Amino acid sequence: MNVSVKSFSTICLCSGLLLTGLSFPTHGQDFWSPRHVVLDTYTEPVPFLCDGDLLLAYELHITNMDRLPISLASVDVLADDSPTPAKAYSGEQLIGSLTRIRVEGQSDVVSEVMGGQRAILHVLLSYTGKDALPSVLKHRIRYSFLKDDGSEVGATVEGGTIRVAQEREAVVIGAPLGEGIWLATRSVSRGLSGHRRGAIRPQNGIPYQKARYAIDFAGFDSTGAAYHGSQAMNEKWVGYGAEVLAMADGRVVSIRDGLPDSQPFDTDRLKSLTGETLGGNVIVLDIGNDLFAFYGHLQPGSIVVQEGDQVCKGQVLGRVGNSGNSDAPHLHFQINRDIPIRGEAVPYVFEEYEHLGVCESNWAFNTNTLFEEVADRTITRLQTRSMGRIEAAGQEPPIVDALVSASIRSSMTQSASKASAPEWVLALREGGEQRRLGMPGSNAVIRFRGTPRGR
């Protein structure tokens, strides 16, 4: 075939334009819309029962592939072929469900995604029963951006299609704690204020959400108190030292012990921790089927099993502590697939527990005393730091300004005043609701019953 130089040059020029993204718009197609955003989902959501509803939880990754920043306006979750969104995210709900790696000097607004940057929408859907579950989900994103000439362009893109794993079920487990009253905090039903924020860690090239279904269990007594006496002492907390149990038969594959307990609400604790020690003293169980159960923040020296031990469901493993990155004594529990701690999070449900009610605030106990002590410690720490700097310079040590002290105490008092009374205590008189094969919702107050093995 004979091709003239002019024709060949024209072909190369057109090819170059196409390769660099400078293609011309086709008839009826928005030139700007498809070139900016890529939508990805990585794991099929598995339905699980929580507070009477079936929930689906997963992440939608929104990547800006252009050099220009975009501003996300809304995200519609579309189920099967229905034109009506199963859930629509916009405004504060959208912002409250997004995370994004923040870069110094760039916008702090999570809905603004810089060129080459990614935002993650943490989706949570609720259904009344299995018949209502969709088979497939996809997403419609509306966003805007400024062109080089300063004009604003609105665009829409659909994608991120994902199948719902209806054939799979949540893992059924026993109690991870001994008999007692427990506040289940920061669970997946609380949305992004649970453990989902900042918990995505790539493994083998896949951005796994490792703590999607994690729960923190804090102990309460029958009066609704979480501690007695000084909150600064771990042993004064009701849950401290409670028995931690194997929630299934399994094998101990990893242990970390010897880390000291943190002082409750010590804001300086992170200075002595690394990424590997944030979980404190831990136990990891291999419970079969490539599933691993993680127990975190255990009391130092309390672990009574060794790596390689085979354990039975209900067997005592250790005791609740406050080691690692922990505000107050509690047990952090989660299950992961394939990779212990860092693998894809797996939903689980308990064989049985007693639901006593819901505590509207994590701080619904002795709040005035707690926040007064936190204020005292904060002011003392400021005083100590100021003295150190001034004495090093050979000057007289100052006192913390009275106005600063008053401001700190006022802030703490306002925080305490927002707490709710523990109305669930009334349910203890008549007994709570027995629930089976479900996960407690966030801030649910529950009771596990039964005597641990190995006593």
> Tokens in use for 49?
């029962």
Q: What is the pLDDT, as a whole number, of residue 339?
A: 86
Query: In this structure, is residue 435 part of a structural domain?
Result: yes
Mean per-residue pLDDT over the chain, rounded: 83
Domain total in the chain: 3
Query: What CATH number did the domain enclosing 442 receive?
Result: 2.70.70.10
- Give yes or no: residues 136 and 183 share one domain: no
Which of these three, 116, 131, 163, is where a domain ends?
Answer: 163
**Torsion angle, alpha carbons of 295, 296, 297, 302, to 10:** 40
Percent of the chain scored above 90 by pLDDT? 57
- Give yes or no: residues 67 and 87 share one domain: yes
Q: How far apart are CA 117 and CA 38, in angstroms?
A: 11
Which residue has better confidence, 381 or 194?
Answer: 194
Q: What is the pLDDT, as a whole number, of residue 412?
A: 44
Query: In this structure, is residue 203 part of a structural domain?
Result: yes
What is the pLDDT confidence band of residue 60, given thresholds at 50, 70 and 90? very high
Asked whether residue 440 carries a pLDDT value surpassing 80, the answer given is yes
Query: In this structure, is residue 151 part of a structural domain?
Result: yes
Region of poorest pLDDT, from 69-78, 200-209, 210-219, 446-455: 446-455
Asked whether residue 120 carries a pLDDT value surpassing 60, the answer given is yes
Query: In this structure, is residue 4 part of a structural domain?
Result: no
Phi, psi of 77 (to 5 degrees): -95, 120
Which of these three, 113, 144, 163, is where a domain ends?
Answer: 163
- Give yes or no: residues 385 and 312 share one domain: no
DSSP string, 61-97: EEEE-SSS-EEEEEEEEEETT-SS-SEEEEHHHHHTT
Neighbours of 156 (CB within 10 A): 15
- Give yes or no: residues 177 and 148 share one domain: no
> Tokens in use for 430?
């008549």
Region of poorest pLDDT, from 53-62, 95-104, 156-165, 400-409: 400-409
Measured N-to-C along each axis, helices 367-392 and 402-417 cross at an angle, to the nearest 10 degrees, of 150
Rounded to 5°, angle at Cα 139 from 135 and 144: 175
Region of poorest pLDDT, from 72-86, 158-172, 247-261, 263-277: 263-277
Q: What is the pLDDT, as a whole number, of residue 393?
A: 55
For the stretch 271-284, pLDDT in tens is 888 878 999 999 99
- Give yes or no: residues 440 and 383 share one domain: no
Q: Which letter, b or e, does each residue of 348-378 get, where b requires 16 or more Cβ atoms within 10 Å of its Cβ? A: bbbeebbbbbbbeebbbbbbeebbebbbebb
Q: What is the pLDDT, as a whole number, of residue 102?
A: 75
Asked whether residue 364 carries a pLDDT value surpassing 50, the answer given is no
Query: In this structure, is residue 212 part of a structural domain?
Result: yes
- Give yes or no: residues 372 and 275 share one domain: no
Most confident of 61-65, 190-194, 421-425: 61-65
Percent of the chain scored above 70 by pLDDT? 76
Region of poorest pLDDT, from 23-37, 98-112, 233-247, 309-323: 23-37
CA-based max dimension of the chain? 95
Closest CA to 293 of 244, 258, 353: 244
Q: Give the structural domain span for 84.
A: 26-163
- Give yes or no: residues 214 and 233 share one domain: yes
Cβ–Cβ under 8 Å, residues 128 and 67: no
Cβ–Cβ under 8 Å, residues 130 and 50: no
Query: What CATH number did the domain enclosing 154 receive?
Result: 2.60.40
Q: What is the pLDDT, as a whole number, of residue 24?
A: 35
Q: From its phi and psi, is residue 389 left (phi > 0), alpha (psi between -120 and 50) or beta?
A: alpha
Region of poorest pLDDT, from 1-5, 53-57, 91-95, 383-387: 1-5
- Give yes or no: residues 345 and 371 share one domain: no
